Structure 1
Amino acid sequence: MDNTFSVYKIDDRSLIAFIKREIHNLALQLGFSPHRAAETDIIVAELTSNLIKYASGGELLYRAHFNDDHNEIEIYCLDKGQGIENTAKIMNDGYSTSNTLGQGLGAIKRLSNDFQIYSIKGWGTVQYIKICDKSDFLIPLPTNELNFSALSVNYPGEKVCGDGYYVKQTKRGFQIFVGDGLGHGVHAQEAVQQAIKVFKQSGDSDPCAILRDIHDQVKKTRGLVGTIASVDYKSEHWSLCGIGNINTRIHNGLENKTYTPYNGIIGHNIPRTLNNTLVPYQKHQIIVMHSDGLGTRWNLNDLTSIIKQNPSVIAATLYKDNVRGTDDATVLVGKII
């Protein structure tokens, strides 16, 4: 299983049975018991039927993960409906209203291992659901200072994604890479996956040096754009360097700044001189990195209380409002805790 989400636009009730069956079979492949797969069916049925009844449609995104201690299915449910005025109230099993998405959300929360919801009246709703093979499995807390989530989807009609990302821990902190292979499809995927391989193996702490190394080792591919953000706990700073149009912003409360990458294509032509941008590293910062599959005219401050949400909800919110639908799309959100 790769890191990309499958996407379905839910605008017709006839799709519900197909999607339920597809996710049910996926659950069984992951080792879910028949009972746990049936509980997954209930979650999917509630999400999709609510989209049709109360939001006039929306999108369902899902992916599977094989992990060492558990297997899981992640689901995003996104809509641009009327929104929910009081999300706490509608968490009670059996609560519903005649004209807002709310029916069954209590059941979804009870049957899932993790459930997050964000809604604004007149804007719509984002729901994030994680279903593990064991219903009593407790989602572990982050083991370091970075709590992150990423959402990647293929170019419509493609079976593979030309975007990619990777986060790794280092002796001095952590490093984030987000890349976008030129175009889309298999050749774009080959370029970005080769870049990720080099990034994983690199022991360098300097983003510029790592990008130069990637450049040298992906010359036989189509090429890509990419950005690396590296944190050093001791010096308490970010080092940022990017080549091509990966959008990178760091938020400090209500303030945020976008960091401009260099022009060029990794694997083809990059500037002779590369310098890292140094940024103070502080608790409670939020870093957002995304490919050009998302538009750039967004501001987290326009969304009520969004910075209080989990990275998964922030990523899905940015995707919902800004995905272009004309390319692969990836958005990674990290919160410093």
Structure 2
Amino acid sequence: MDNTFSSYKIEDRSLIAFIKREIHNLALQLGFSPHRAAETDIIVAELTSNLIKYADGGELLYRGTQMQGRNEIEIFCLDNGVGIDNVVKIMSDGYSTSNTLGHGLGSIKRLSNDFQIYSMKGWGTVQYVKICEKADMDIIPNPAGFNYSALSVNYPGENVCGDGYYIKQSANGFKIFVGDGLGHGVNAHEAVQLGIKAFQRSTAEDSIEILRDIHEGVKKSRGLVATVACVDYKSQNWNICGIGNINTRIFRGLENKTYSPYNGILGLNIPRTINSTIVPYLKHQIIVMHSDGLRTRWNLNDMTSIIKQSPHVIASSLYKDNMRGTDDATVLVGKIT
């Protein structure tokens, strides 16, 4: 199943019924029972109506996933409204700011398998919801030591995404690929998917050699840009290298550093001499990798306590504030725990 998110800008109530029907049908396609699909309807209704009532609109992103025999729907709800002063208080059933029954956020939390919310006064709010096919399903944790989230969205009007990402796990460490096919649409999608397949096939341990394998594997496509970040548990180091404009940063507390890629296009032309960057792999680091569908002038430290939040919240907050809307967009956030 495609791992990109469908995106809808919600500015008035005219789209709400359509979005509810789309997600309801997706739930049934994924094997949700009619009762669970109805509970999903309630969650979507609360999220979308709150966007209209309290934020004058916003954006809803959703996708269905099938992983390890489990069927799930993930939803991000983003707005630039006035924000929430006291998230804990407003989460309580019975609390209302509009003389209603006050079951909104409390019902979303109760009916979903995972619900996360982050808000700042004057900045807006991001919400993340995961709905499993069964209400009592536990959330499968990411592999020990690395918790991540990724968000990919098509260029407006396109049916496929020219960006892509993939993570390979092993007993010795893990490897991250983030790529962006040139342009957008079907040909860009083909290029990045060939890049992912070459990344999956590569047996190299060094990011440079992996990029060379990708370069050879995508020569029949229009080409792509990509960065590969590898972690080796034995050496306790990151090994990072990129060709083209994938932005890569590592944060730890107030410290952060951007790792500059080389000029070039995988599949067409890459430098003869390439060096990777070796960085210590440390607890509490946050790695952010994103395509040029997002602006690069951002700093996590500008958002209050954001580094304490989950990768879902961090990724969606960066997307909300920095989405250009002129290309496909992908942002991947990983936390070392």
Report the TM-score, using the length of structure 1 for normalisation: 0.98
Provide Cα deviations, 1:24-70, integer angstroms capped at 9, x if missing partner: 00000000000000000000000000000110000000000012332
Which residue number corresponds to residue 155 of structure 2?
155
Amino acid of the residue matched to residue 9 of structure 1?
A: K
Which residue number corresponds to residue 291 of structure 1?
291
User: How many angstroms apart in 1 are the aligned matches of 2:305 and 2:217?
Assistant: 43
User: How many angstroms apart in 1 are the aligned matches of 2:240 and 2:103?
Assistant: 45
Q: Note the 1:1-337 alignment, pairs <5 A.
A: 1-98=1-98, 104-337=104-337
1:291–1:329 contact (8 Å) kept in structure 2: yes
Amino acid of the residue matched to residue 151 of structure 1?
A: L
- Give the match's secondary structure for 1:97: coil
User: How many angstroms apart in 1 are the aligned matches of 2:257 and 2:201?
Assistant: 30
- Give the match's secondary structure for 2:53: helix
- Give the match's secondary structure for 1:238: strand
Shift of 1:103: 6.0
User: How many angstroms apart in 2 are the aligned matches of 1:20 and 1:245?
Assistant: 37
Percent of aligned pairs sharing the same letter: 76
Amino acid of the residue matched to residue 45 of structure 2?
A: A
Shift of 1:148: 0.4
User: How many angstroms apart in 1 are the aligned matches of 2:134 and 2:21?
Assistant: 20
- Give the match's secondary structure for 1:88: helix
User: How many angstroms apart in 1 are the aligned matches of 2:239 and 2:70?
Assistant: 34
Shift of 1:95: 1.3
Instruction: In structure 1, list runs of 5 or more residues that go unmatched.
Output: none
User: How many angstroms apart in 2 are the aligned matches of 1:201 and 1:327?
Assistant: 28
Amino acid of the residue matched to residue 105 of structure 1?
A: L
Shift of 1:96: 1.5
User: How many angstroms apart in 2 are the aligned matches of 1:98 and 1:132?
Assistant: 30
Shift of 1:202: 1.2
Amino acid of the residue matched to residue 322 of structure 2?
A: N
Shift of 1:150: 0.1
User: How many angstroms apart in 2 are the aligned matches of 1:309 and 1:60?
Assistant: 20
Shift of 1:145: 1.2
Question: Cα RMSD over matched residues?
Answer: 1.0
User: Which stretches of structure 1, 4 residues or more, deviate above 6 A after TM superposition?
Assistant: none
1:70–1:134 contact (8 Å) kept in structure 2: no
User: How many angstroms apart in 1 are the aligned matches of 2:214 and 2:295?
Assistant: 26
User: How many angstroms apart in 2 are the aligned matches of 1:319 and 1:142?
Assistant: 22
1:151–1:316 contact (8 Å) kept in structure 2: yes
Instruction: In structure 2, list runs of 5 or more residues that go unmatched.
Output: none
- Give the match's secondary structure for 1:151: strand
Shift of 1:217: 1.6
Amino acid of the residue matched to residue 261 of structure 1?
A: P
- Give the match's secondary structure for 2:287: strand
User: How many angstroms apart in 2 are the aligned matches of 1:137 and 1:110?
Assistant: 13
Report the TM-score, using the length of structure 2 for normalisation: 0.98
User: How many angstroms apart in 2 are the aligned matches of 1:78 and 1:198?
Assistant: 34
Shift of 1:97: 1.1
Amino acid of the residue matched to residue 38 of structure 2?
A: A
Shift of 1:196: 0.3
User: How many angstroms apart in 2 are the aligned matches of 1:167 and 1:121?
Assistant: 35
User: How many angstroms apart in 2 are the aligned matches of 1:275 and 1:144?
Assistant: 29
Provide Cα deviations, 1:213-256, integer angstroms capped at 9, x if missing partner: 11112111000000000001110110000000000000011100
